[in-house]
Every structure is written in C-alpha cells, then in structure tokens.
Amino acid sequence: MSLVSTDQSSALVSTDQLFVHKLRDIYYAEKQIVKSLPEMIEKANNPQLKQGFQTHLRESENHVKRLDQVFGLLGKKTQGVDCPAIDGIIEEAEEVAGEVQNKSVLDAALIAAAQAVEHYEMMRYGTLVAWAKQLGRNDAATLLNQTLDEEKATDKKLTEMAESQINRKGGLTRPRRRYVSDRANPGAA
C-alpha cells in the first residue's frame, strides 16, 4: 500500500513526511471543528452543555495556534489536507441534529457527536505525540501532548454531563432489569 500525500501529490517516503502529513490532517480537522462549534453552541439547550461547547471552541482555537507553533518548530508551512474522517463525523452530527425534534434528545445527540469528534482527536494526537518523540522532536511532542490532555479532559466532562443529567432528560435511562422472580409474578414489573 502506498501512502500518497494529497497536498503535494507525491509519495510519502519517510516517517518525517508521514508525521507532517498527519499534522496537516489534524490542522484541517481543528479548523473544521472551529467552524462547526458555533452551530452546536446555538443548537444546545442545556446551559452547561452550551457553556462546555463555548469553552471547547476557545480551546480549539488555541489548538490551531499550537499546531501553528509545531509547524514553525519543524520549519514547515502551516496548511491542512482534507480529512474525510472529520468531515464524515461532522456531517453525521449535522444530519442527526437536523432530525431530532425533542430538545432534550437533541442535547444527548450533540454530546454523542462531540464525543465522536473528541475520540478522533485523541486518537490522532496520541499518534502524533508518539511519533514526535520517536523522531526526537520532544518540543513538538510537548505541545501536542498539551492538546491531547485538553481533548481527554473535554471528553471526560462530556461523559459526566451526559451521565449525570442530559441522557436521563433525553429519555436514555437504563430499563429496570427483570429477574426470574419477576417473570413468575408479571405484575411485579
């Protein structure tokens, strides 16, 4: 399998080139996230969720700046390459949000969409941190790891919000488990 860079139409022949390509991938993804978060903020009904999205928008803007720094450290031009993965995640989130009429269910859907984005970012940043270290670029690894830590913290906050209130309000509660004794007495359930 040959990896081809869409930004230069040349084969990636070194780990350094692959690293830069994946930096450009996450740079594009962060820019798309910055574009899509205002719509999520607008659609969110829960004040805590709305505030969480606003905070993450500011963090994402800082992630873009941090990536600018990494490109500078590497002496590479800051630019993105299309990232079909993030485009698909964002497109799916927009479709689902457009189909949901119940405001509480919409908040649960927005959290699910945001966590899909977070998980993609955590995967990508985790890989980039490891590669930066292996390439002897601890300066880049430190910056990328700061972002990774922020992405993990955001995911944790979203999980806590979902589990403590939003999923329940959206009707996503665990049904009461029926036991063998319940089946013997159908009126017990």
Name the E strands within the chain.
none
The reported pLDDT for the residue numbered 62 is 98
Domain ranges (residues) in the chain: 15-171
- Could you count the other beta carbons within 10 Å of the beta carbon of residue 12? 17
Q: Which of 188, 169, 163 is nearest to 177 (CA)?
A: 188
pTM of the predicted model, to two decimals? Answer: 0.81
The reported pLDDT for the residue numbered 9 is 47
The reported pLDDT for the residue numbered 166 is 80
**Cα separation of 43 and 110, whole Å?**
8
The reported pLDDT for the residue numbered 180 is 53
- Judge whether 97 and 113 are in contact, CB under 8 Å: yes
pLDDT tens per residue, the chain (189 residues)? 333 334 444 577 889 999 999 999 999 999 999 999 999 999 999 999 999 999 999 999 999 999 999 999 999 999 999 999 999 999 998 888 888 888 888 998 999 999 999 999 999 999 999 999 999 999 999 999 999 999 999 999 999 998 887 866 655 555 445 545 445 555 544
Q: Which of 101, 94, 103 is nearest to 170 (CA)?
A: 103
The reported pLDDT for the residue numbered 89 is 94
The reported pLDDT for the residue numbered 148 is 98
Topology (CATH) of 15-171: Ferritin (1.20.1260)
Put residue 9 in one of left, alpha, beta given phi > 0 → left and psi -120 to 50 → alpha: left
Strand, helix or coil for residue 83: coil
The reported pLDDT for the residue numbered 12 is 75
**Cα separation of 69 and 78, whole Å?**
9
The reported pLDDT for the residue numbered 167 is 66
